[in-house]
Structure 1
């Protein structure tokens, strides 16, 4: 694999009890912007959860900036931002409270970037609402604002445009365009197709496992 690879995955396999999802996934991605695409039930979200360390694969190795997920899980996860937009774990706290807790988790946290994302996504009116009161789009925008501001070496974003209004989609495209040239971070986006106006540095297309 190339020395410039930030994320290396070799022979990844993951199966739920009822079905296999990922089989023999290998990749070597540099910093920048990557797209995981595929139809429904092809394993896009599952792959992000495995890369985040939330799910344990049955086979394969994952290495992020030289840190192996299998043998150094805590050091690996410390480099990763992942928040499942479908999870109810944050429902009882406000968006502002959640964002306020992130700087302690991420050493490269960028407060100025967060302020820009709050403005760009028009989030100010929603910051003092609990997550359960947020719309699908507002919830995703809060999570993305935190993820992009985290400075995490690996930032995982699932289905970013679900519920987003057009101005927010336009802002998202601008943020992703900047991420594409960041030499210190890899942003991985899972979506069923490529977003218009985004130049993806790396891509992976998933198909249903047989």
Structure 2
């Protein structure tokens, strides 16, 4: 579905993304991870066809995405910072989205509005919405759009535990319909449990890692008294005790005891190294 080869983006000759190369399939839930300012939103905007690449190649559904109406009709890009008109009410936003997306589901929109308790605030104008309400209306539009590819930029910023759970529940249900979802975030504690893959952007605006969920099966969290082992993606030492995340095969060769790591452990370790 998405193919990027040596993709680049500059603003006023300042590099934001450099040498981005990756492929993503046509379904599932994927994360775009990285610290603030590494270009996650910029990459999503290019995938959505809203920004023109400065170099390299980017195709979505086999076509260049920039300003391509055929691609853009199949993609929904939304998030907490979506620039809806400030005078529009939440009901206006839902109505406009229903006209914009060919496969819009009003049933899904109504269910999400109710589950988020936004139906009680449908007349609230966007300018007066809290950050959490803006995040939730973005989720409503994204999930109800029916788009084959849905891009969610920091979808749960400002959400409490209950509403985050509502989001994940509906996201998992819709992912079973063979839609593709990409979430840009720097919070992975909960997201890692539902991901099919994660693309990690480094501080230099390039891809540090592209991990499938099953890739984490090959790592362990080892503890003991040892120096930095080969292949470790994270290492910490306090007095005589060390902790590392490393390939299980390496741990076995070194005689280190460890417990199986999950995708969240591995991704957190990678992001720690970036900090």
TM norm structure 2 = 0.69
CA displacement at 1:157 relative to structure 2: 0.7
1:209 aligns with 2:204: yes
1:158 paired residue number: 153
- From the superposition, tell whether residues 100 and 168 of structure 1 become closer, same or farther in structure 2 (CA, over 3 Å): same
Which structure is higher in strand share?
2
1:68 aligns with 2:64: yes
Residues 140-179 of structure 1 mapped to structure 2, 5 A cutoff: 140-179=135-174
1:113 paired residue number: 108
CA displacement at 1:203 relative to structure 2: 1.2
Whose Rg is larger?
2
| CA contact 1:21–1:208 (8 Å) conserved in 2 | no
1:41 aligns with 2:45: no
Residues 91-102 of structure 1 mapped to structure 2, 5 A cutoff: 91-102=86-97
Structure 2 unmatched ranges of 5 or more: 206-275
Within 2, Cα distance between the matches of 1:59 and 1:90? 32
1:56 to 49, 52, 56: 52
CA-based RMSD of the aligned residues comes to 1.8
Give the total of aligned pairs.
203
2:22 paired residue number: 27
| Relative contact order higher in (CA < 8 Å, ≥ 6 apart) | 1
Deviations 1:8-65 (A, max 9, x none): 2222111112631111112211211110000111111111111112211111222222
Within 2, Cα distance between the matches of 1:58 and 1:43? 14
| CA contact 1:61–1:69 (8 Å) conserved in 2 | no
Deviations 1:105-147 (A, max 9, x none): 2111111111111122121122111100100000110111011
2:81 paired residue number: 86
1:128 aligns with 2:118: no
TM norm structure 1 = 0.89
1:190 to 165, 181, 184: 184
2:225 paired residue number: none
Which structure is higher in helix share?
2
Within 2, Cα distance between the matches of 1:191 and 1:110? 26
- From the superposition, tell whether residues 202 and 179 of structure 1 become closer, same or farther in structure 2 (CA, over 3 Å): farther
